[in-house]
Structure 1
């Protein structure tokens, strides 16, 4: 079972591990990548967070370092001879994105070294996904990193983020063996149920599948409809507020980061879920995945 009390309100160290990339819009390039978005929002929620990835010695790589420094987000960006990751983003009339990814980029080639081993041993929480694991090298690095974290003081968050064909049954199953909290959305659930051999796809059925594997945290989002969170024996369901969305990129990352950060800081599930809904809704009204929270939102968090 998940026990957030063991963190005792101490300053929690966490990381987003995986891709740093640029979301390239028609008129500008915004820094992103789910692990980077997650780490950024954890920092806003009061955690000591860091993004761990790799960027190239190119213009976007230098830009990434400068932007993250300006946002006061610590970043361990290992230098690489490959190009910095990028994805072309096209938004429809409702602000929903489609993506075109560059391949064999810096984040596909993250090495596991003594520095990463040292960082992993000091963390209490880490979030990871499947996109960076599309390459064998980064997949192995992610697995080693998660295994190196202190078994008695760790929460490992697997935000699956299925993109195109950049995932496999093997990567998902290996990742689930190293997961404490799992997150997916309504588009990903049928794919995951098929991989798991679940005939009647539902959030409840997948929750049971996860629990059978010792995973007692499941976050399930359904876009503009609602979100459901299962933590141990508790279930929380909340409607998504009606808003005028400008850009939904990064909304799911902010939701997961907010929810887990607040739970780890001792907030109850109802409060943590409520604030995660508010924050992700706010992110949808801003362009880019890393907007600063308003003072009003920050004050309402009670941290």
Structure 2
């Protein structure tokens, strides 16, 4: 698993924060962080033929994210208004944009076989066309590891999408607030974190590992044989946009090498902490930090 290539699926967009635009979207943030961790990563997405689409392609090239599955269509490139309060983001997400229309006919199935790990979230499955493309990849890919970053956005998910997503993944990551939302949605009752994670592992035998993040408090890991907390170092927060995506990338990069969830979570917490201490969702890692990630992630 040392050299496994990772394929992400989902939204590419521009965040407009306090009058400035920033390139982003959880899947492309994830892929960019994965590249900075030293692993090859590509994304299945769609951007418009507009100026923001051109700029998005340029950004992906600059970040080293693979272009084999990037589609262009006549819809507007995705965009989001982000409002920060004490460093925490809230989002107003535009509907009916390019990433809602990812076409399965544009996916090269021969190239899917080059990828051993897959990452996806919930937002890009809100439209039937992109959801069908996601299902198409799941039917034709041969991924050993499938990472579902729940990443709920208001009015952008259904019970059916959540259930099918849990049915696909081998690893799922959510935050403590999402546990409450998901337990009410799936089981019609707000459940404790312990009860919910145990229930998920019973109902979805494909899932090997659950990650519950708690921001600066670190994360909780539940596997089929273990349950423990991995604490994080407290950091001075500039903004938290992209921190969860960085955590996912660093965790998965280390996990693919080591299959050690505790060690991988420590590395994920470290990289997420670095991102919250910097501005923007994809800050450039200093060379010394990259080397530290490489050494810590070694199998």
Q: Supply the distance in 2 between the matched residues of 1:79 and 1:199 (Cα, whole angstroms).
A: 42
Q: Supply the distance in 1 between the matched residues of 2:19 and 2:155 (Cα, whole angstroms).
A: 27
Residue 128 of structure 1: CA displacement?
Answer: 0.7
Matching of residue 83 in structure 1 with residue 93 in structure 2? no
Counterpart of 1:281?
Answer: 273
Alignment partner of 2:169: what SS?
coil
Q: Deviations over 1:103-155 (max 9, x none)?
A: 100000000026342333321111111101110110111111122111xx421
Q: Supply the distance in 2 between the matched residues of 1:47 and 1:62 (Cα, whole angstroms).
A: 25
Pairwise CA RMSD: 1.6
Q: Deviations over 1:232-273 (max 9, x none)?
A: 423341223222111101111111111111010126333211
Q: Supply the distance in 2 between the matched residues of 1:54 and 1:164 (Cα, whole angstroms).
A: 22
Q: Deviations over 1:71-107 (max 9, x none)?
A: 2222332010000000011111x21011111110000
Counterpart of 1:121?
Answer: 113
Residue 225 of structure 1: CA displacement?
Answer: 2.3
Residue 295 of structure 1: CA displacement?
Answer: 2.3
Contact 2:230–2:262 under 8 Å retained in 1: no
TM-score (norm 2): 0.93
Q: Supply the distance in 1 between the matched residues of 2:32 and 2:219 (Cα, whole angstroms).
A: 22
TM-score (norm 1): 0.91
Counterpart of 2:26?
Answer: 34
Counterpart of 2:179?
Answer: 189
Q: Supply the distance in 2 between the matched residues of 1:270 and 1:168 (Cα, whole angstroms).
A: 31
Q: Supply the distance in 1 between the matched residues of 2:5 and 2:93 (Cα, whole angstroms).
A: 30
Counterpart of 2:238?
Answer: 246
Alignment partner of 1:272: what SS?
helix
Contact 2:47–2:71 under 8 Å retained in 1: yes
Q: Using a 3 Å threshold, how does the CA distance of structure 1 residues 233 and 297 change in structure 2: closer, same or farther?
A: farther
Higher relative contact order (CA 8 A, sep 6+): 1
Mapping of residues 1-303 of structure 1, within 5 Å: 7=1, 9=2, 11-75=3-67, 76-92=69-85, 94-113=86-105, 115-150=107-142, 153-197=143-187, 199=189, 201-212=191-202, 213-214=204-205, 215-266=207-258, 268-301=260-293, 302=295, 303=298
Consecutive unaligned residues of structure 2, counting only runs of 5 or more, are none
Contact 1:210–1:216 under 8 Å retained in 2: no
Contact 1:122–1:149 under 8 Å retained in 2: no
Q: Using a 3 Å threshold, how does the CA distance of structure 1 residues 83 and 208 change in structure 2: closer, same or farther?
A: same
